[in-house]
Amino acid sequence: MTNNFLFTSESVTEGHPDKVCDNISDAFLDEFLRQDPDSRVAVETMVTTDFVAVSGEVTSKANLDKKAQEELVRKTIREIGYDNKDLMFDADTCEVNLRLHSQSPDISQGVTATEEKEQG
């Protein structure tokens, strides 16, 4: 048996799809927390050529309907600089697929109970 160990890592820069995804997910977290500081947000984003998918679970009193969610996605993409069809990813024309839903009541109850135990 050999004791070889190979360590690798990836470093991505501005404009990379991973960074775009992080910015979109962060925008959702920021908006939910702005409206309701007690929000619980688990949002993941995936992007590819002219397509965005945002999915996850949210427990929040924030008012962020589908239209507002789509506007948030497009605004974030536009702010990054993807606002031209020639880039093959355009904030105004890309397809946006939203799949956010409420957090499972069992998970929510377990998180609340854990928080109460840690507070007490």
* Per-residue pLDDT at 110: 58
* Per-residue pLDDT at 8: 85
The pLDDT tens digits for 24-47 are 999 999 999 999 999 999 999 999
**Spatial separation of the C-alpha atoms in residues 23 and 16, rounded to whole Å:** 11
- Record the pTM: 0.80
* Residue 97: both structure tokens together: 């697929």
Report CA-CA distances (Å) from 44 to 14, 21, 69.
Answer: 19, 8, 13
Which domains are present in the chain? 17-119 (3.30.300.10)
**Spatial separation of the C-alpha atoms in residues 63 and 85, rounded to whole Å:** 31
* Per-residue pLDDT at 41: 95
> Which ranges constitute the DSSP H helices of the chain?
17-35, 66-80, 105-119
Question: Residue-wise pLDDT tens for the chain (120 aa)?
Answer: 678 888 888 777 777 889 999 999 999 999 999 999 999 999 999 999 999 999 999 999 999 999 999 999 999 999 999 999 999 999 999 999 999 999 877 765 655 555 555 555
- Is the Cβ–Cβ distance between 51 and 64 less than 8 Å? no
- Beta strands 95-102 and 51-59: pairing type? parallel
> What residues contact residue 120 under an 8 Å CB cut-off, 6+ apart?
none
